[in-house]
Each structure stands twice: as structure tokens, then as C-alpha cells.
Chains A and B, each alone.
Chain A
Amino acid sequence: MNKENSKGKAVFKALLSKNELGAVLPLALLLIVVAFVNPNFFSTGNIFDILRTASFTFIVAIPLTFLLSSQGMDLSVGAATSLGGVICGMTLKAGVPLPLAIVLALIAGAAVGTLNGILIIKSNLPAFIATLGTQYLVNGIIAIITNNLAISNFEGNFKQLSQYKLFDQIPMPIIYAIVLGIIGQFLLTKTRFGREVLAIGGNKETAYLAGIKVNSRRMVTFIGTSVFASLAGVLIASRFASAQPAAGTGTELSIMAGVIIGGTSMFGGQGTVIGSALGAILLATITNALILMNVSTLWQNAIYGLILIVALYVDKYRRKALSGE
């Protein structure tokens, strides 16, 4: 009996040690419920729909995992997403070849990230307010250059970038997200850069004394976040064959919520790209599952919020139990 008990405790502890538990548990519960209510949820088409939705969020969540792990934060990712799509759209309309248009969009994203880095790292401004300022600035620039009009009717294969389906089944954004996710997880867990980012998040001063180039590493995380957000913007523009000035508006907080639910600490020092993927999938699943269960839209926001709170509680409980408090 004692042996069984200790085995159970060991399994429980092993479960608790997984950073991703906060996303996995609510996701599993949701899947069980929706499977009973509407088995169509598990149709191939619906699964790929959910994964496609999650992939746009996840592409931004990958560098955001690094950023939050290093105690950073960025409220301008939505604006950078819109900017990426708009710059790509405008340059395409001007006759610039697609690869160059994408590069220009990414450069615009890098400029946003660099500005954030200068404001926060060099000028020591609080990240919350500084990136909020950048968000307004970038959204303002977008409104000025587009007059808030979407850019559409592109020549060539721009649409194929997001609309093409591998084997006639798998939307391309899922493939991009998987590839980038694998690279991200490798970078975070298997490279010196990843360890340094986590060390900075754990304690900046100690990291500095240990010889880590704190400022340059943090700068990379800010630039990377905006570049990936711009890339997501390009893919969204391709999905709708229309670069919308507000494509990323309002997405920043939900993406951050996905990353945190996935097990990345808001206070730095801990991060998991796999967890961020699960967080993104959870967010995409909630809306989809609620519709499939025929839950009225009036209830959806409340239930969405509740599930997020449960996910955060699970994560909090897990951390507390692990620390033995």
C-alpha cells in the first residue's frame, strides 16, 4: 500500500514538474467535454482549422517566450503584426518581388523591436508603458500611410504563402509554426543563448556578474519578438489576400496570456516554447469548442475568461507544490 502511495506521489510530482501543465489540464478537460457534446470536433478539417488559428498566435508566442523569460514584456506585438502585413502589402503593390517585400516587412518589424530595446534597455523606461507608446506610434504610422484602408488585389503567388495546403490538407502556417517552434525550443533549451536568456530572467545582476551580455541579449529578444510579429502579419495578409491596418489590434494580451498559461513565468527565469504552443492551441480551442457545443456567443467571453483563470490557477498551484510551500 505504502509502495503504491509513494509511486502515485512520484507520478504526481513528475506531472507537477511539467511547466506545460497549466495549459495541458484545461485543454484535456475541454477536449473531453467537447468530445461528448459534439464528436465532429475531432474531424480532420476542424483540427486543422484550430491548428491554423493557433499557428498565427504561436509564431508570435515563440519569441515572446524568450522575452518574458528574460523579464521583458511587449505590448506592441499587435501593432508590429499589422505593420508587417501593411509593409508587405504596400511594397508588393509597388511591384517589389515577394521575397524582398517579406524582407522589408521583417526589417520594419526589426525597427519596432529596436525602438523598444532602446527605450527599455538603454533609456530604462518601464517596458509596459514604453511598448504601449510604441503600439500607439506604430498604429498611428499605419493609419497615416494607409488612411486605414486595407491593401488588396495582389498579383502573383502571395496568397499561396498562407492558403496553400500541403497534401491538400495541412495549411502552410501550421508547417511554418512547427518549424519555427522546433528552432525556438532548441534555442531556448539547448544553446548558450537560451540559457543566458533564462539566467537574465532569473536575476539580471547575477547574470551580468557571470559575464553574460545582458543588454545585447535583451535587445535580441525585443527585436526577435517584433520581427516574428511582422512575419505573422505577412502570413495573415496572405491568408486573406488583404493587408488590414488593424490585423493585429487587440491580439497582444491574448498571445501573452497563451505564453504564460503555457508555463512561462511573467517574472522571468522560466520558459517553454512547447508550453507556449499548447497555450496557443488552448486559446484557439476554447472559441472553436464553445461554438461546436452551441454555447451562445453572449456566454463565450465569460467562459473564455474562466478557463484562462483556471489555467493560471493550475500553474500557480503547480509552482507552489513544487516549491514545497
Chain B
Amino acid sequence: MKKVLAIILALILCFSLAACSSGDSGDTDTPDNTGDNTPDSTNEPSDEGGDSDDTVVCYSFGPMTGGAAWGQFERGFMTACEELGWEGHYLAPTADNNMSQLFNLHETAITNGADVMIPLVTDTDAMSDILDTAVEKGITMVGCCMGDPHFPGYIGTDPTNLGYTVAEALVQCMGDQEIHVVTMQTLLSTQSQVDQVDAFEEKLMELRPDATIVRREECNSSAQTAQDKLSAVCIANPETNALVSFDSYAGLGAATYVEAEGRQDDFCVIGIDDAAEILLAIKAGNMDATVAQMWYKMGYESVYLANDVREGKEIPEYTDSGTSIIMPEDVDAWAEEMGTDLSA
């Protein structure tokens, strides 16, 4: 048995060595679109940022590899890098949403000679030192999702605009009915989502002063938790007749609740993003609408904004990648435009 294990381990080692050696070619014309989780070890660290050759090395970051939202961001980012002839790397933590790992990846990118970075700033204080280092090394930066004084501008879904759009979608779907709504986000501690929910509440009160916010909840990106919590909230507060989600799994859990309880006619769910299962929930009548963020556009345009900065052009402090409300009648056209497969 030990011999068999030894042979297996030896084979794994051989494969690893083979894989490492094939990466030496430095194929910058065909960036890997599959989600490069580890920086390319062949990039020589540089004190001033950048490789010894002329290829621009650009890093972007996300809280996860793939997925409906960040997968699109990565595709947009890689496409733009390819168009500009840059070497693109998309880095994400091995454990989804692990923020400390995400911070470390920014440091890794700096150490590995990034020329350009699209930092994902989730906490400006926590990342301050890292961004200081990037500035010292002369790395060009354009932010993603949140602004920071370390870079001239950022692109993302403006939390306020998103919150407003969600409120408008809810009011549109509810018509003249009373509104008693639960908000559900990934974690109550996620600052960008807190801003979105604040903006949502502000706009809702402006549009429908009679509306009530029943509860703010979190689901930690678990549809199970979302459904269970919504069930309990509805028992504790029977007047609850709507849920708006700021986490796509919250929407999915709420849609399952609506289907299980047969509440399609008296409960409104507003989802977020445009994953296939969200669009299918709308088609099935278990969700009323979703607010899609333009993740591909965000990834794509972030690279061109960084290019403008490198060329000495001024960029706006904030570029809104936009949002779009998808109603049931829009689902098929949207899916076709985004290349989302809704077939069984």
C-alpha cells in the first residue's frame, strides 16, 4: 500500500513540475480566462512595479472565483486586457468572501510586480497600508466598487443608485398595496451593502412614506438560511409582504419560500443580479423582478480607465457601471443578450 501511495505521490509531483515548466512560456497574448487564483510565479518582483519587458501586468481582485457576478467581471477584465495586449490576472481568495485573504492577495500582486491594479477596497482603513505601498511602487490604480484617496477614480455600482433602483423596483411591483418589507444582505457588517440598504430605505420612504421596514437580515450567501429566516420573520410579523435582497442567494431563498407557501400573489420578492436561477425564479412567478448590476462592463471598463490613467488622461472620480431592473417580460431578452442559458 505504501508503495502505491509513493507512486501516486511521485506522479502528482511529476505533473506539478510539468505544469510549472509549461507556464514559463509567458503567453501574454492569450490570457487565461479560467480564473487565475495564484499570481504567476514567473513574474520577477520589481521595486518600481512592472516586469523587465514591456508587457503591462494588470491585476484585478474579487471575493470569489467564477460565479454569476464575479465570473462576468473576470470575463470583462480579461477581454479588455487581451485587447490592450496586457497580461491580466484575476485573483480571488480560496475561501469565498474571505476578506483577510483578499487583502493578502493585493500584497501578493504588489510583490509580484504589478504595473496596474484594480483594487477591490472593501475597507479603506484596513487596506490603507497596502495601498500606500502600491502608490510608493508607482503602480497605476483604478478602484473597483469603492473609492479611496489612493487612486484617481473607481468604477462600480454606486451603492446609493443601487439602493434607489431597488426601491423603485419594489414600488413598481407593489403598486397600491401596503409595503412591509424585509431587507436581506450577505452580512450586516459589509459596509457597501449597508450603504445600499440605507439608500434603499431612504428612497422607499420618499416614494412610499407609509411603507415599513420590518427587519434588516443577513443570510451569509445561503439560500437555506434566507428561506428559514424569512419564514420566521413572516411568523413573527405576519404583515410582512415583501423582501428585497442585496445578496443573490437571499433572493433565491425568498423565491423558494414564496413557492413553498404558495404566496405568489401576496408576497413580492426583488432579487439582485441576473444569475440563471434568479431569472428562472422570475419566469416561474416566484420572484417579481431583479436588479442587475453590469459586472462585465465593470471589469471591462476598469482596464480602459486604468489605461487612461497610464496615458496621463484624467478620469472621473466615479464611473457608474449602471444597474437595470429586469421585469418578467424582460427576462428572455436579457438572458439572450447576456448569453445566459435558461433551457432545461
Contact = CB atoms under 8 A, between A and B. Distances in A.
A153 B280 contact: yes
Interface stretch (A101-109, A236-244, A266-274): A236-244
Q: Which of A38, A147, A155 is the most central at the interface, judged by chain B CB atoms within 10 Å of its CB? A: A147
B94 A240 contact: no
A150 B216 contact: no
Contact of A242 (B96, B217, B252): B252
A148 B64 contact: yes
Interface in A33-48: 38, 40-41, 43, 45-46
B307 interface: no
Nearest to B236: A292
Interface residues of B, number: 46
Interface stretch (B116-124, B137-145, B227-235): B227-235
Contacts of B95: 249
Given A236-B224, A240-B252, A240-B253, A147 B66 contact: yes
Given A242-B223, A294-B236, A150 B64 contact: no
Given A123-B5, A149-B68, A150-B277, A297 B228 contact: no
Contacts of B223: 240, 242, 244, 247
Given A148-B64, A150-B275, A244-B249, A288 B232 contact: yes
Contact of B224 (A41, A118, A148, A239): A239
Given A148-B71, A152-B277, A236-B224, A297 B96 contact: no
Contact of A155 (B232, B260, B344): B344
Contacts, number: 115
A246 B96 contact: yes
A53 interface: yes
Interface residues of A, number: 46
A122 interface: yes
Interface in B259-277: 259-260, 275-277
B45 interface: no
A114 interface: no
A46 B235 contact: yes
B221 interface: yes
A66 interface: no
Given A53-B228, A153-B343, A250-B220, A136 B94 contact: yes
A99 B282 CA distance: 29
A284 to B, nearest CB: 8
B68 A287 contact: no
Contact of B236 (A153, A155, A247, A291): A291
B342 interface: yes
Given A153-B344, A154-B344, A240-B223, A40 B66 contact: no
Ranked 5 nearest A-B pairs via Cβ: A148-B66, A291-B232, A152-B277, A147-B66, A148-B67
Interface of B: 1, 5, 34-35, 64-68, 70-71, 94-96, 188, 215-218, 220-225, 227-229, 231-233, 235-236, 249, 252-253, 256, 259-260, 275-277, 280, 342-344
Given A118-B5, A247-B224, 5 more contacts: A53-B228, A147-B35, A153-B342, A163-B259, A288-B232
